[in-house]
């Protein structure tokens, strides 16, 4: 598991360096080696990124637009798991307004450095970037209203811990709205691995049933997993929503 995590860290460190050094040519070029499954980067956001720093947009390696599907209200405290260069953090910050706050969590020093540079450029005050693992979130219990994430949970080497940590930091009734890669239920783990690597967002993806059961087992209800488009045979980009049970 440690080797897989390090492979993910190295890949995104290289992507951050490419953006920081203006070595990225766009169109997914920042994805080092194999391109992320279904990754269209900034193309998935349409016109929503007009006011977002260019380097944050270029560094986008996601498979969706979680801020478009998450219910974000003024004053919310939002956590972005695997924030990267900060694109979803900045979009969420605009939605929650000055009374709200957005925390971007990332394990990669190079991405955190890039995100903080982008924050300074954008002059956004209601965000902060924190180093840590999504399997061991460095935040207090019950302090978050909404969790967002963009094609990151599939990269985790310990998804039960991710789901448990999400439930721990969310307030009762707190909401989840993420974009992720999900496998058709018929695909075995071996078949998923045949379709792509772990760092390419394929081999580590959960099936629809596994994702639902994982969230429900961690204390979530009203779980909704809606596929948006197929990225490779039997693998879907999907919108995942859930609510933390109140009791």
Task: Please check the confidence at residue 39 and state whether its pLDDT lies above 60.
Answer: no
pLDDT tens track for 172-208: 999 999 999 999 999 999 999 998 888 888 889 999 9
Task: Please check the confidence at residue 38 and state whether its pLDDT lies above 50.
Answer: no
Distance of alpha carbon 105 from the chain centroid: 9
Task: Please check the confidence at residue 23 and state whether its pLDDT lies above 60.
Answer: no
For residue 133, what is the DSSP state? B
pLDDT for 82 equals 94
Calculate mean pLDDT across residues 4-18: 78
pLDDT for 8 equals 81
Question: Residue 164 is encoded by which pair of tokens?
Answer: 């448990």
CA 83-227-91 angle, 5° bins: 30
pLDDT for 197 equals 83
What pTM, to 2 d.p., does this model score?
0.88
63 band by pLDDT with thresholds 50, 70 and 90 = confident
DSSP-derived secondary structure for 99-112: TSEEEEEES-HHHH
* CATH number reported for the structural domain that contains residue 195 in this entry: 3.40.50.150
In the chain, the percentage of residues whose pLDDT exceeds 70 is: 84
Contact 114, 47 (CB under 8 A): no
Total domains in the chain come to 1
Which has the minimum average pLDDT: 2-6, 64-68, 182-186, 199-203?
2-6
Instruction: Round to whole Å and give the CA distance between 150 and 132.
Output: 16
43 burial via Cβ count (<10 Å: 0-12, 13-18, 19+) = exposed
237 band by pLDDT with thresholds 50, 70 and 90 = very high
Contacts of residue 43, Cβ cutoff 8 Å, sequence gap at least 6: none
Calculate mean pLDDT across residues 7-26: 70
Residue corresponding to tokens 């478009």: 68
For residue 188, what is the DSSP state? -
Residue ranges of the alpha helices (H) in the chain? 2-20, 54-58, 66-69, 87-96, 109-122, 159-169, 189-195, 208-217
Domain range for 21: 2-244
pLDDT tens track for 113-164: 999 999 999 899 999 999 999 999 999 999 999 999 999 999 999 999 999 9
10 band by pLDDT with thresholds 50, 70 and 90 = confident
53 burial via Cβ count (<10 Å: 0-12, 13-18, 19+) = buried
| 40-42-45-46 Cα dihedral, nearest 10 degrees | -100
34 band by pLDDT with thresholds 50, 70 and 90 = very low
Instruction: Round to whole Å and give the CA distance between 103 and 78.
Output: 6
For residue 72, what is the DSSP state? -
pLDDT for 99 equals 97
pLDDT tens track for 220-233: 999 999 999 999 99
pLDDT for 32 equals 33
Q: Which residue has the higher pLDDT, 38 or 101?
A: 101
Residue corresponding to tokens 């290289």: 14
């Amino acid at each position: 598991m440690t080797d897989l995590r390090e492979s993910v860290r190295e890949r995104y460190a290289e992507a951050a360096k490419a953006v920081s050094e203006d070595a990225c040519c766009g169109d997914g070029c920042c994805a080092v080696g194999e391109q992320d499954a279904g990754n269209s980067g900034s193309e998935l956001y349409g016109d929503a990124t007009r006011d977002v720093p260019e380097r944050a947009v270029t560094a986008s390696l996601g498979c969706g637009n979680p801020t478009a599907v998450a219910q974000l209200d003024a004053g919310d405290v939002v956590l972005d798991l695997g924030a990267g260069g900060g694109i979803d953090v900045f979009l969420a910050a605009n939605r929650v307004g000055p009374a709200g706050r957005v925390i971007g969590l990332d394990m990669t020093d190079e991405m955190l450095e890039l995100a903080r540079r982008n924050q300074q450029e954008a002059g956004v005050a209601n965000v902060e970037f924190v180093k840590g693992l999504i399997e061991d979130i460095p935040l207090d219990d019950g302090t978050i209203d909404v969790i967002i994430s963009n094609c990151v949970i599939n990269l985790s080497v310990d998804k039960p811990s991710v789901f448990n940590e999400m439930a721990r930091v969310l307030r009762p009734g707190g909401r989840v709205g993420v974009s992720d890669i999900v496998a058709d239920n018929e695909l075995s783990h071996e078949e998923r691995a045949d379709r792509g690597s772990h760092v390419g967002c394929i081999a580590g993806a959960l099936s629809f049933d596994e994702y639902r059961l994982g969230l429900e087992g961690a204390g979530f209800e009203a779980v909704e997993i809606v596929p948006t488009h197929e990225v490779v045979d039997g693998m879907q980009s999907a919108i995942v929503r859930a609510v933390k049970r109140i009791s």
